[in-house]
Amino acid sequence: MGLEAVVGDIKEKGKREVAAVQAETRAEVTRILTEAQERAAGIKQQASEEVERDVQRIINQEVSAANLSVKREMLNAEKDTLGRVHDTVVTRIAGMPATFHEMALRALLPEAAAAVGGGVVYCNARDIPTVKKILAESKELAAFSIGEPISVEGGVVIESADGRMKIDYSYRTFLETVWESGLKDASDILFP
């Protein structure tokens, strides 16, 4: 075999080895690229899922905050409405005819006399003539005197003779008692 044949064999063998290395390199490059693409797709999917979870969490928080805000506004509106109803009731009771106030005072004063015995009766300026008349007519109320007018819609405040006890029989006090006990019922009726 001549030198040319040996050189040809070596070249041929080198070409085959180069082709094999190139094929092996291409296969390795393809495998690496495929793995990289799979990892990138996995990372992209994971990031997409995290973004979706974050978006859903933010939406849930915003919806909860909006619901809370709406509920707070509703409660404030209900409270405002109930406050206006309360004020209207107080105003209407204060505006009742004189016969109503006299009838109420005739019921309240003997009750106060039973609880206190004697002392000073305080009422609004409108009711002073009526209270004076009731005190003058009743022997059981003889131990009471009338004090300076106070700012109440109606009813009386009684102070014992020694000043240690006060009984509030004003309309507002009665209304507050009824209001507190019936507030839930009133709210249920007004805001079903």
Task: Supply 139's token pair.
Answer: 């022997």
Q: What is the pLDDT of residues 152-162, one digit of tens each?
A: 999 999 999 88
Banded pLDDT at 190 (limits 50, 70, 90): low
d(CA 104, CA 117): 19
Mean pLDDT across the chain: 86
Q: Would you say 105 and 133 are in contact if contact means Cβ atoms under 8 Å apart?
A: no
Strand partners for 158? 121, 167
pLDDT > 90? residue 128 = yes
CATH of 97-190, one of 3.40.50.2000, 3.30.2320.30, 3.30.1050.10, 3.40.50.1820: 3.30.2320.30
Q: What is the pLDDT of residues 12-23, one digit of tens each?
A: 887 888 788 888
Q: List, edge to edge, every strand of the sheet that includes 119-122.
A: 144-146, 119-122, 155-160, 166-170
pLDDT > 80? residue 189 = no
pLDDT attached to residue 86: 81
Give the 3-state secondary structure of residue 110: helix
> With helix as H, strand as E and coil as C, how does 50-99 read?
HHHHHHHHHHHHHHHHHHHHHHHHHHHHHHHHHHHHHHHHHHHHHCCCHH
C-alpha count within 13 angstroms, C-beta hemisphere, residue 149: 11
d(CA 37, CA 44): 10
d(CA 91, CA 17): 109
pLDDT attached to residue 163: 86
**pLDDT: which is higher, 192 or 76:** 76
Any idea where the domains of the chain sit in the sequence? 1-94, 97-190
Helix (H) or strand (E) holding 8: helix 3-94
Q: What is the pLDDT of residues 64-98, one digit of tens each?
A: 988 888 888 888 888 888 788 888 888 898 889 99
- CA-angle at 98, arms to 107 and 118, nearest 5°: 35
Banded pLDDT at 49 (limits 50, 70, 90): confident
d(CA 124, CA 180): 24
